[in-house]
Chains A and B, each alone.
Chain A
Amino acid sequence: MAKTIIEKIWEQHVVFEEQGKPDLLYIDLHLLHEVTSPQAFEGLRLNGRKVRRPDLCFATMDHNVPTRNRNTITDPISRKQIKTLQDNCDEFGVPLAGINHPDQGIVHVIGPELGLTQPGKTIVCGDSHTSTHGAFGALAFGIGTSEVEHVLSTQTLWQSKPKTMEVRIDGKLGFGVTAKDVILAIISKFGIDMGTGYVMEYTGEAVRNLTMEERMTICNMSIEAGARAGLISPDQTTIEYLRGRRHVPEGDAFEQEADRWLALATDEGAQYDATVSIHADEISPFVTWGTNPSMGSGIAERVPSAADYDKQSDKDALKQALAYMHLEEGMPLSSIAIQHVFIGSCTNARLSDLRAASEIIKGKKVHPSVTAIVVPGSETVKRAAEQEGLDQVFLEAGFEWRETGCSMCLAMNEDSVPAGERCASTSNRNFEGRQGAGSMTHLVSPVMAAAAAIEGHLTDVRNYMEEPVASV
């Protein structure tokens, strides 16, 4: 019978099944960070339990780490959280890329970089953006701290089989349209809870043409659509990305793995529980205007009006969002002035993101009313970018070039947007106060963020690009 990749991975990982119970699922890779793990390790200690498979764990520190003075964590509670992870990893034998380690970075950036993320694996992390790893055709999902403790002690999880959804993106992406615009457009079209109860598989011509880094951007935000996970069937692009990475096999063994990986792809004619589709022509450079990631529109459009909605609860939600965002119904999106630009996060802080933004900013200046920072997704990204001189391009334009970490994506360290100020951000959440109490976030792609930095307001990046001449 024709199967989806989701069913194939699931079946390969069932340890125990019984009617009336969720399945007991084996976990191949457990990623950890400092915020959601301390209570789990403490639970192990209290019950005299150990980590069953430390070799299948990998930890890093990303949420609290300073991006200026690496080793001066001023907040004592942050410092304690970092120290606690270090101690827990030492005690339980879990591999760790700590604060000064050359592999350190945002957990969802380093997994793929190191080749830990591989097709067909089940991957979990106490972090909702674990969906990022689905770009490789892995079944990757976020879990809570109780589940972290469960995986640490048993290497398994009780999980009900998810429903499957195909999200098809037909056609070719237009000029200036990035992976970020694609996922924002999907969430805006189908809603913030479109994926609840589902694992989504992205398919279609536009997806096949994406690089691995672009695929990660899309899968990263599956959770913003409510999905347990989002993934993409592996293909030659996946294989080429993984070849030569540290944690994948070499030589013939790699070729064998590659064949096995390619065979995981969804079979022709496989059935999904639901299918939605969007055409690339519908998608233009996007910005959000509201307080969740579904509240966004193409940059040429206006902030919606209550009259645009039928349901009273939607009208109420719009009013609440606009009150928080200090925006008026019907105002043009390109008239919104911003004071901050953040290029960073597990959505958009990989090398290709920094390259794309630097192309826009090259030879230009950050608008005098804007504070702009670049926070590379990992130490590896940072080194590579510096080798290419991208840091100099940003610095000359007036950006700050920082150390790696989550930084202003959730503002748990000291990088935050002050109350009443606005940020064009390449991160994934525009919830109230996400980037600092009272701050206002507009989600955009790296190139849109770069253009906003130059002009001091949201703007169409296509004005900064040369449209390729269509070949006849």
Chain B
Amino acid sequence: MKPINKISSVLTPLERKNVDTDQIISKEFLKRIERTGFGKYLFYHWRFHADGTPIEDFVLNNPRFENSEILVAQENFGCGSSREHAPWAILDYGFRVVIAPSYADIFYNNCVKNGILPIRLKDQEVDELISKGQQQNFKLEINLEDQSVTGQDGTRYEFEIDPYWKEMLLKGWDEIALTFQYDSYIAAYEEKQRA
């Protein structure tokens, strides 16, 4: 997993709440047995007509946001299915950070395990960012170490993150290798169960 700390990029405003993982990555793209290559299918049915031509007014098709690494959406982002293909698609497309007022639990975990930083800001702060991002190219500086988001107009927002997840993201750890260090505890637990 790639470590993440500072990201500086234009934000992509997605003005929708309850965005479910079926929309993030549709089932017809879940058949691959690899972790990569899902980016081109991100939000597929919002991005493309049935004949494969782009839907012009969908935000991802706006060239302004082409190199954006920060996706901003409304509450309860990532609800529904547990498919990790959703964060894989987000990452593969080029986003490293998602900002929303709230996330579905499984999706949040799935992001962290893939080096995507999911930031929670207040409803009103998110609405502010979305409207700024819609009006103009709006740049954000993300700093995970400081737990802050700073807009190009100087507005600074702070966010909370569990210290354990924070460290994992900053260091880009392989969680399984980490857990192997607790093997004696796991073995002891199993021993006790057998007794």
The yes or no verdict on A and B being binding partners is: yes
Which residues of A line the B interface, CB within 8 A? 15-16, 20-22, 24, 26, 35-36, 38-39, 42-43, 47, 49, 52, 64, 75, 77-78, 80-81, 84, 126-128, 141-147, 149-150, 153-156, 158, 160, 192-193, 196-197, 223-224, 226, 228, 292, 313, 316-317, 320, 410-412, 419, 429, 431-434, 437-438
Pick from B110, B162, B163, B189: contact of A146, CB under 8 Å: B110
Task: Write the nearest CB–CB distance from A43 to chain B, whole angstroms.
Answer: 8
A411 to B76, CA, bound (A): 24
B33 x A84 contact (CB < 8 A): yes
A142 to B109, CA, bound (A): 11
Q: Name the residue among B23, B76, B82 with the largest chain A CB count within 10 angstroms.
A: B82
A148 and chain B: residue at smallest CB distance: B84
B82 x A143 contact (CB < 8 A): yes
Pick from B27, B34, B75, B162: contact of A39, CB under 8 Å: B34
- Chain B residues 72 to 86 lying within 8 A of chain A, measured CB to CB, are 74-76, 79-84
Residues in A whose Cβ lies below 8 Å from that of B33: 38-39, 42, 80-81, 84
A144 x B179 contact (CB < 8 A): no
A329 to B142, CA, bound (A): 42
Lowest 10 CB-CB distances: which A-B pairs, in order?
A38-B33, A144-B110, A144-B84, A146-B113, A142-B82, A77-B31, A145-B84, A128-B82, A431-B22, A193-B76
Pick from A20, A144, A224: contact of B113, CB under 8 Å: A144
- Chain B residues 127 to 175 lying within 8 A of chain A, measured CB to CB, are 162-164, 175
Which residues of B line the A interface, CB within 8 A? 15-18, 20, 22-23, 26-28, 30-35, 45, 50, 74-76, 79-84, 87, 102-106, 109-110, 113-114, 162-164, 175-176, 179-180, 182-183, 185-186, 189-190, 193
A192 and chain B: residue at smallest CB distance: B18
B186 x A155 contact (CB < 8 A): yes
Additional A-B contact list (6), CB under 8 Å, known A39-B35, A150-B176: A21-B164, A49-B176, A147-B113, A154-B186, A196-B103, A433-B45
B80 x A128 contact (CB < 8 A): yes
Task: Write the nearest CB–CB distance from A269 to chain B, whole angstroms.
Answer: 28
A104 to B56, CA, bound (A): 45
B36 and chain A: residue at smallest CB distance: A39
Residues in A whose Cβ lies below 8 Å from that of B180: 153-154
Pick from B20, B74, B110, B186: contact of A292, CB under 8 Å: B20
Q: Name the residue among B30, B76, B162, B182 with the largest chain A CB count within 10 angstroms.
A: B30
Some 5 contacts from A to B, beta carbons below 8 A apart, are A15-B185, A24-B186, A42-B33, A155-B186, A317-B18
Residues in B whose Cβ lies below 8 Å from that of A192: 18, 76, 79
Pick from A24, A412, A429: contact of B179, CB under 8 Å: A24
Task: Write the nearest CB–CB distance from B84 to chain A, whole angstroms.
Answer: 4
A431 x B176 contact (CB < 8 A): no
Residues in B whose Cβ lies below 8 Å from that of A429: 20, 22, 80-81
A77 x B113 contact (CB < 8 A): no
Residues in A whose Cβ lies below 8 Å from that of B26: 433, 437
Pick from A149, A412, A438: contact of B28, CB under 8 Å: A412
A431 x B175 contact (CB < 8 A): no
Task: Write the nearest CB–CB distance from B27 to chain A, whole angstroms.
Answer: 5
Task: Known contacts A39-B33, A77-B32, A158-B179; decide if A142 and B106 are in contact (CB<8 Å).
Answer: yes
B20 x A144 contact (CB < 8 A): no
Residues in B whose Cβ lies below 8 Å from that of A49: 176
B182 x A24 contact (CB < 8 A): yes
A431 to B23, CA, bound (A): 8
B186 x A410 contact (CB < 8 A): no
A419 to B51, CA, bound (A): 13
A357 to B74, CA, bound (A): 39
Residues in A whose Cβ lies below 8 Å from that of B104: 193, 196, 226
A156 to B106, CA, bound (A): 16
Residues in B whose Cβ lies below 8 Å from that of A43: 176
A353 to B9, CA, bound (A): 52
A303 to B74, CA, bound (A): 24
Residues in A whose Cβ lies below 8 Å from that of B189: 15, 26
A437 x B45 contact (CB < 8 A): yes
A431 x B80 contact (CB < 8 A): yes
A438 to B45, CA, bound (A): 9
Residues in A whose Cβ lies below 8 Å from that of B185: 15-16, 24
Task: Known contacts A78-B31, A434-B22; decide if A36 and B105 are in contact (CB<8 Å).
Answer: no
